[in-house]
Chains A and B, each alone.
Chain A
Amino acid sequence: MGPIQPGEPITRYIFQKSFFNKEKMFVKTGAFMPNRDNKTSVFRIKNYPENEIWTLGEKIGVMRNRSLKARADKIVDEIFKTGLKIIQETSQYERHADIIGWPKEPEKQQLLASALARDAYLRLLT
């Protein structure tokens, strides 16, 4: 797919219902907190048909024994603005990428995750 470009849309698949508020339609901070490897897994969705975006998320969910609940869409510029970076990581999926550059301190991670969640666009699986 080539290097990640400014303006590119990405999505974070959500398999946990506590990661969003469907009445107020927002993504919660926890959804963007990094995992143990200090990365947040996302997928590149530029020029990817809507139904295929969902299908990919559902397939990943099946492999992980979790059902897809929603997704959080963002533009990569919003990630760069926080000082975090995003890199391709295509070992399993061509469209996969990781948000990296997370600080070690949990309070700083929480602040950045909060900033990412604030701008994210919640899409519910219907």
Chain B
Amino acid sequence: MSIVNEYNLDKALNSATYVNNNAEFTIIYDPDIYKKAFSEDSLPNEGTNFIEIEKLERFIDELLNIQLDCSKSGWDGYDAQPINKKVISEAFNLINIISSLNKKILTPDLSPAPNGSIIFEWRSDDIILTISVMGEERLIYTFINENKTIAKREIIKNQLSAEIKDLLLKYFLSI
């Protein structure tokens, strides 16, 4: 419950809720609600579509599984740091931001990491984009293709940086 409460307080939204395994999440899935929540200049391009509820539910299920599996040290069989609630909350927030971009963006894979972060990962052949959150109000992103590598960090805002958006739209749209 604490994750949801933190999130609601941050965003103060009239939003739908999702309940699973005693955890309650708030989901922004309605474009009108989204528009009310964020300022006009933070809105994605016109014609933006929103992620289908089924995909959003799958994401949230994955996050809940990660929370259940990785809440104690050593969850990876080595000496991984636990994934804490702040990280889950930031991952949830990131899902909302990504969901708002374009529904043709490929669905990322989620994975926990031994440093206590959660990594969102897109792959297309040998091209990989990762975005991670560590509960420190910043995100890390990396990109690899044949010609280029990127490894950067930035403060989490209500939208992704232009560079990340460009990468997602250039390399990770479904046909």
Of B69, B114, B123, B128, chain A has the most CB atoms within 10 Å of the CB of B114
Contact A29 B119 (CB under 8 A): yes
- Residues of B109-151 contacting chain A, CB below 8 A: 109-115, 117, 119, 121, 123, 126, 128, 130, 132, 134, 140-142, 144, 149-151
**Which positions 81-105 of chain B face chain A at CB distance < 8 Å?**
81
Cβ A19 vs Cβ B132 within 8 A: no
B119:A30 contact, CB within 8 angstroms = yes
Min distance, Cβ A31 to any Cβ of chain B, angstroms: 7
The answer to whether the Cβ of B74 comes within 8 Å of any Cβ in the partner chain is: yes
Asked, given contacts A16-B77, A106-B140, whether A29 binds B151 with beta carbons under 8 Å apart, the answer is: no
Are A28's CB and B134's CB within 8 A? no
How many residue pairs link A and B with beta carbons under 8 A? The number is 100
Known: A29-B111, A29-B128, A107-B152. Contact between A15 and B142, CB under 8 A? no
Q: Is the CB of A37 within 8 A of B79?
A: yes
Q: Which of A13, A17, A61, A117 has the most CB of B within 10 A?
A: A117
The answer to whether the Cβ of A46 comes within 8 Å of any Cβ in the partner chain is no
Assess the A30–B151 pair: CB atoms within 8 A. no
User: Chain A nearest CB: distance from B171 CB in Å?
Assistant: 14
B interface residues, how many (CB within 8 angstroms): 38
Size category, A interface: 35 or more
A40 to B74, CA, bound (A): 13
* Contact digits for A3-44, partner B, Cβ 8 Å, 1 yes 0 no: 000000000010111110100101011110111110001000
Excluding A16-B75, A29-B113, A66-B76, 16 further A-B contacts by CB distance (< 8 Å) are A13-B77, A18-B66, A18-B111, A19-B111, A28-B109, A28-B119, A33-B114, A34-B115, A35-B114, A36-B114, A41-B78, A107-B142, A107-B152, A110-B132, A110-B140, A111-B142
